[in-house]
């Protein structure tokens, strides 16, 4: 009766699996899940706090703390927005870029490994369906 996993239960276990990979790789790269998320959202751009707040689904004050800690660790940089004196632009430092690159590569490799265990046709169908389901979910982890 443990085999009797409902569809929803399966999705939840899958989420656990992915979260586990995230946490493990994060440990390797010395990033928490929240930090990794944030670095992914900044990536190669320069982002305002309000936008980060929206993308990450966190309160502005939470983002302030997240960016504070990442800045102290030398992963990101705050710069004044030249066109709006209230605003701040967050971008990655070289160290932040390195950490993000490593994190993304390892997460991708690990998840691809999971998918590669499937027969080719099944894998392709599965991936296509996943894409369809998440079409509306914001791309925090852009490729």
Q: Is 34 exposed, middle or buried (0-12, 13-18, 19+ CB in 10 A)?
A: middle
User: Is 10 one of the binding residues for a second copy (CB under 8 A)?
Assistant: yes
Three-class secondary structure of residue 89 per DSSP: strand
Site string for a second copy, 62-101 (x = CB under 8 A): ----------------------------------------
Give the nearest distance from C-beta 121 to a second copy in angstroms: 10
Using the structure block, give the residue that is written with the tokens 């670095």. Answer: 39
Q: For residues 20-59, which are near a second copy according to CB under 8 A? A: 20, 22, 57
Binding positions for DNA, rule: CB under 7 A: 32-35, 48-51, 56-69, 78, 81, 84-89
């Amino acid at each position: 009766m443990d085999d009797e996993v409902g569809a929803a239960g399966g999705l939840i276990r899958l989420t656990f699996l992915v979260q586990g990979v995230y946490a493990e790789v994060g440990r390797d790269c010395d990033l928490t899940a929240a930090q990794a998320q944030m670095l992914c959202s900044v990536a190669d751009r320069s982002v305002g706090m309000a936008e980060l707040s929206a993308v990450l689904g966190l309160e502005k004050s939470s983002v302030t703390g997240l960016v504070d800690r990442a800045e102290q660790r030398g992963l990101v940089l705050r710069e004044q927005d030249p066109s709006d004196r209230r605003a701040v632009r967050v971008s990655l430092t070289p160290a932040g870029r390195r950490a993000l690159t490593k994190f993304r590569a390892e997460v991708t490799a690990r998840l691809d490994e999971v998918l590669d265990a499937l027969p080719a046709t099944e894998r392709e169908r599965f991936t296509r369906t996943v894409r369809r389901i998440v079409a509306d979910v914001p791309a925090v982890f852009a490729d």
